[in-house]
């Protein structure tokens, strides 16, 4: 009887183990962890970067986003900011998105650096790579779409104030933001369902969308869609800000604080995301992926430049999560007023100095003229 129970327990455990294997296989499908052979190729580009670099970025991002969330909450509770509540919801969502993006990806990068930049030491089955890729895709697209939502919201508030005040409620804004985040998350989960692939990228410290493997079903379409959505959101943000800036009369009815903050965030997005999105399209067209950078067969000059530039581009995109909250913190009304006061003081001082200098020059010229007249009279 005891032997039969033991055998039955063994069979149950075996079935449970098989089911767990099936679940892990589904979660970790379409994840490539191809080893980067000859990882010393072009290793000088990342050799000087220690674990202190991602730690510094994480701490700076956490502090900035936390402060931004506190200030947004305080501003949202004020009665005089009713017209800005939708904008504050958007910028608070942006700070929250950047904060969660830092919390979910930075510890993984730090662990990889501490493991000697060998991803396989902390992720043997590829599940962590898939999770990292989903986070990068979700929080990256959400940040771009939130900037577009803020630009559209401000453009409607400036160009159509009456329609905006009657129809644009905070409940509508919350619903739009919720649906947007859900759609982006579903898009990011497509490689888990078998459409597209997340792949470990050079120099082996991060995972992202594969750009060079056309054999994986839907991989090219998935990568192109991500880049196209990112570029489209940047164009929407740019066009809405440009259109709103031409409505000068209605511009004056609203505070310029939100407009200046939005322009700053737009500039940061363009600088941080444009190189990565454009380079992704180029690498997709050339059927190249950054995981090939460590292979000796691809170590030629053109590919070396692309690999180094791709690494710089992804670092710029990661820097966006840090800069966004500081743009909001530094471009607030109280700091803008202080800046204007200081600028006016400096301008007045320079104007007075110019007047004093001009007075001295006039006096010297007058003195020279009198001296010349005296010399002429003495000669006569």
- The most confident of the ranges 4-13, 127-136, 285-294 is 127-136
Q: What is the pLDDT averaged over residues 325-349?
A: 71
Residue 299 and residue 243: Cα distance in Å, rounded? 46
Hey, which bits of 223-309 come out as E strands?
none
Q: Which residues of 38-66 are buried (b: 16+ CB within 10 A; e: fewer)?
A: ebebbeebbeeeeeeebeebbebbbebbe
Count of other CB atoms within 10 angstroms of residue 22: 10
What is the structure's pLDDT at 177? 93
Q: How far is the CA of 200 from the CAs of 32, 55, 120, 195, 211, in angstroms? A: 6, 21, 10, 17, 11
Average pLDDT, the chain: 75
Q: Are 157 and 168 in contact (CB under 8 A)?
A: yes
Higher-pLDDT residue of 345 and 138 is 138
Closest by CA to 280, choosing from 310, 242, 321, 317, is 310
Residue 5 and residue 52: Cα distance in Å, rounded? 55
* Digit-coded pLDDT (tens) for 53-89: 788 888 988 999 999 899 888 888 886 667 778 888 9
Q: Are 239 and 154 in contact (CB under 8 A)?
A: no
**Half-sphere exposure at residue 379, Cβ-oriented, CA atoms within 13 angstroms:** 6
Tokens (6 digits) for 34: 């191809």
pLDDT above 80 for 272:
yes
What is the structure's pLDDT at 334? 63
Residue 170 and residue 4: Cα distance in Å, rounded? 64
Residue that has been written with the tokens 């509508």 in this structure: 172
In the three-class reduction of DSSP (H, G, I as helix; E, B as strand; rest coil), residue 201 is classed as strand
* Digit-coded pLDDT (tens) for 7-31: 434 343 344 344 444 434 444 555 5
Q: What is the pLDDT averaged over residues 293-297?
A: 56
* Digit-coded pLDDT (tens) for 204-252: 788 899 887 777 788 889 999 999 999 999 999 988 877 655 554 444 5
Q: How far is the CA of 28 from the CAs of 38, 188, 197, 295, in angstroms? A: 26, 14, 10, 24
């Amino acid at each position: 009887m005891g032997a039969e129970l033991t055998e039955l327990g063994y069979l149950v455990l075996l079935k449970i183990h098989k089911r767990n294997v099936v679940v892990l296989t589904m979660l970790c499908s379409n994840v490539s962890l191809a080893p980067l052979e000859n990882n010393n190729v072009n290793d000088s580009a990342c050799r000087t970067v220690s674990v202190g670099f991602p730690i510094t970025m994480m701490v700076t991002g956490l502090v900035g986003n936390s402060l931004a969330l506190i200030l947004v909450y305080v501003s949202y509770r004020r009665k005089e900011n009713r017209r800005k509540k939708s904008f504050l919801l958007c910028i608070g969502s942006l700070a929250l998105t950047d904060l969660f993006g830092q919390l979910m990806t930075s510890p993984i990068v730090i662990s990889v650096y501490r493991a000697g930049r060998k991803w396989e030491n902390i992720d043997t089955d590829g599940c962590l790579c898939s999770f990292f890729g989903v986070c990068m895709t979700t929080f990256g697209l959400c940040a771009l779409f939130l900037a577009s939502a803020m630009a559209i919201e401000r453009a409607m508030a400036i160009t159509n104030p009456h329609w905006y005040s009657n129809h644009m409620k905070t409940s509508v804004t919350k619903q739009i933001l919720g649906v947007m985040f859900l759609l982006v998350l579903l898009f990011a989960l497509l490689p888990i369902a078998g459409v597209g692939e997340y792949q470990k990228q050079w120099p082996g410290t991060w995972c992202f969308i594969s750009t060079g493997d056309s054999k994986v079903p839907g991989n090219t379409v998935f990568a192109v869609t991500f880049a196209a959505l990112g570029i489209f959101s940047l164009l929407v943000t740019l066009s809405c800000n440009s259109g709103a800036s031409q409505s000068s009369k209605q511009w004056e009815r609203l505070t310029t604080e939100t407009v200046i903050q939005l322009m700053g965030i737009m500039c940061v997005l363009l600088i941080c995301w444009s190189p990565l999105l454009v380079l992704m399209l180029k690498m997709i067209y050339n059927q190249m992926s950054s995981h090939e950078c460590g292979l000796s067969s691809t170590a030629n000059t053109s590919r070396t430049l692309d690999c180094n530039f791709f690494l710089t581009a992804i670092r710029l995109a990661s820097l966006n999560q840090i800069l966004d909250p500081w743009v909001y913190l530094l471009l607030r009304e109280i700091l803008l007023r202080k800046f204007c006061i200081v600028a006016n003081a400096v301008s007045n001082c320079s104007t007075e100095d110019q007047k004093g200098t001009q007075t001295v020059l006039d006096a010297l010229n007058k003195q020279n003229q009198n001296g010349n007249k005296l010399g002429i009279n003495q000669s006569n």
